[in-house]
Amino acid sequence: MDWYSLVKFLHVVAAVVWVGGGFALALLALRAERASNVEAMLLAMRATGELGNRLFAPMSLLTLAFGLVLCWFWVGFSDLWVLIGLAGYFTTFTIGMTVFGPTAAKMAALIAQEGVTPRALALGQRMLRFARIDYSVMLVIVADMVLKPTAKDLGILLGMAAVLAAGIALAATAGTRSLTPAPAA
């Protein structure tokens, strides 16, 4: 095995853990929200917050680091697909650090202080709205890394833009259902 293959393998493994783990938790939360299962939704959101700094942020940083090594030594930084990937990475990393982390911490503190209240549920739904955007960006990044579009690949670029627009639209229309916490026993 050569160095390029090893670094590329580590890049992909880190990305799979980061994207796949977060996607699974977001999917669990969305399913719980649709089923009006408040406890399951909060459990998934709490897990997302707890794993954010312990797993997802380090894996995203490793994904970036290995990707930068690949670009520095073998690929370069001028290809459109590299620039799209970097822009996508910084978008999703920023959402994680400015929305998911702080909102999960605020939600956990609120639940510890007041229990499961409509305010705590609203924070969980806020995280789910941003998850729709975040995972549309991640889907674009995955497509970008696999398809490696150039400026001539208008169909691919338009498809990626449509995925991003759909994620934003879903986020804008989500969370209109009011969840109520289960009565205390």
User: Looking at the predicted structure, is the pLDDT value of residue 183 above 70?
Assistant: no
The angle, 0 to 180 degrees and rounded to 10, between the axes of the packed helices 101-114 and 38-51 is 130
User: Count of CB atoms within 10 A of residue 55's CB?
Assistant: 14
pLDDT score, position 66: 98
pLDDT score, position 32: 86
pLDDT score, position 180: 60
How confident is the model over 53-64, as a mean pLDDT? 92
pLDDT score, position 43: 82
Structure confidence at residue 104 as a pLDDT band (50, 70, 90): confident
Reported pTM? 0.86
User: Looking at the predicted structure, is the pLDDT value of residue 31 above 60?
Assistant: yes
| Separation of alpha carbons 109 and 49, rounded Å | 12
Give the model confidence (pLDDT) of 133-144 as tens digits. Answer: 999 999 999 999
